[in-house]
């Protein structure tokens, strides 16, 4: 069995080429630009890398990352990390650094007084993270709202016949869903840069005692979403009146003909419905096949989205958590944007 050592660093520039090569081999579709994105722009701090090196020649054989994330609650800021980017060289997976890297990541987070560390492991790693002290905190279900039914039928028939057969069901789906009877109010428009209005919204949001939420400052939103090298994110912003202050927004990604919601940040709960209606109208206008939305299975938002004919796709993720501080997460609504992608 080859001997190796684990090092940690918040400036892995020396290993940049190796990390990018590992992404290409083990996490396909991860662009090289993500390396600098993880290093610069996150208000919570630089991403920390735990790197496994062979003792005999210092060969890079694996890594795991810890991306800082801040959570706000009752006037307090809790500093934590998201564990991801676990990659092991194919030649070292049996007797290699798999467990050592994970143990080192957890130890680093706790020793450096981070308040929490969380991850969403793949099914084969769930037992492993359990042995490291992680506890399953919540299940996150993916809901889907079909928009263009004909797109599904095209798998089985020519587009012309798929369009004919889907015409009536699509009309009925608009009538029996809540957005058809919800009165539109306020103003919703797409924005391409987060400005001071986002900071003002976050400040007002923090005044609501009991709210638990991640950083939504303008600098974070610009870095996390609008400058993201992996996915092309878009934002719909909502104002009660056209020139009034920002009162909510929804973040989404459009890939091919599918639209995925990554974040919703409303000052009041009724704004969620206005944002959903605007997004559904946009999806129809741009001829999207469906809208996807992942959120905790027991969260009250599930009742709202079901009234908009979002169906549980039975695709479930499990969030695992270790806390180094007393933090009640029962009011935290975990969206896709809370991951390290």
Convert the pLDDT of each residue in 83-113 to its tens digit. 999 999 988 887 678 899 999 999 999 999 9
Residue 324 has pLDDT above 80, yes or no: no
Report the pLDDT value the prediction gives residue 94, as an integer from 0 to 100: 72
For domain 141-338, give the CATH number: 3.40.630.30
**CA 196, CA 35: separation in Å to the nearest integer?**
28
Structure pTM? 0.90
Per-residue confidence (pLDDT) for residue 172, from 0 to 100: 64
Res 253 pLDDT > 60: yes
**Of 53, 52, 111, 124, whose CA–CA distance to 81 is shortest?**
111
Cα–Cα distance for residue pair 108/97, rounded to 1 Å: 16
Q: Give the N- to C-terminal CA distance of the chain in Å, as an integer.
A: 33
- Where are the CATH 3.40.630.30 domain residues in the chain? 4-133, 141-338
Please write the tens of the pLDDT for every residue from 6-58.
Answer: 999 999 999 999 999 999 999 999 999 999 999 999 999 999 999 999 999 99
Supply the mean pLDDT for the chain. 88
Closest CA to 65 of 99, 113, 104: 104
CATH 3.40.630.30 fits 4-133, yes or no: yes
Q: Poorest-confidence range of 84-93, 127-136, 268-277?
A: 127-136
């Amino acid at each position: 069995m080859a001997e190796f050592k684990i090092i940690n660093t918040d400036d892995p520039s020396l290993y940049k080429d190796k990390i990018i090569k590992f992404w290409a081999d083990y996490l396909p579709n991860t662009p090289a630009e993500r390396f600098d994105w993880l290093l610069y722009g996150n208000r919570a701090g630089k991403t920390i890398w735990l790197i496994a090196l062979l003792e005999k020649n210092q060969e890079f054989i694996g890594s795991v990352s810890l991306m800082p994330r801040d959570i706000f609650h009752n006037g307090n800021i809790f500093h934590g990390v998201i564990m991801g980017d676990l990659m092991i060289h194919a030649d070292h997976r049996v007797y290699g650094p798999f467990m050592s890297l994970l143990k080192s990541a957890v130890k680093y987070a706790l020793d450096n007084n981070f308040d929490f560390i969380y991850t969403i492991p793949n099914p084969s790693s769930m037992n492993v993270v359990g042995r490291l002290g992680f506890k399953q905190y919540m299940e996150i279900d993916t809901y889907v709202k079909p928009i263009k039914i004909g797109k599904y039928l095209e798998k089985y028939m020519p587009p012309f016949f798929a369009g004919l057969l889907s015409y009536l069901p699509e009309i009925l789906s608009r009538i029996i869903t809540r957005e058809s009877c919800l009165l539109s109010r306020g103003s919703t428009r797409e924005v391409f840069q987060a400005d001071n209005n986002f900071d003002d919204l976050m400040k007002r949001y923090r005044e609501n005692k009991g709210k638990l939420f991640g950083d939504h400052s303008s600098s974070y939103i610009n870095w996390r979403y609008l400058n993201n090298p992996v996915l092309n994110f878009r934002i719909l912003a909502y104002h009660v009146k056209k020139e009034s202050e920002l009162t909510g927004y929804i973040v989404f990604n459009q890939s091919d003909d599918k639209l995925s919601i990554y974040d919703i940040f409303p000052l009041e709960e009724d704004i969620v419905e206005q944002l959903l209606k605007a997004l559904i109208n946009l999806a129809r206008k741009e001829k999207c096949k469906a809208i996807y939305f992942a959120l905790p299975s027991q969260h009250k938002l599930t009742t709202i989205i079901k009234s908009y004919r979002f169906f549980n796709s039975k695709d479930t993720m499990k969030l695992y958590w270790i806390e180094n501080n007393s933090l009640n997460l029962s009011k935290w609504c975990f969206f896709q944007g809370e991951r390290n992608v």
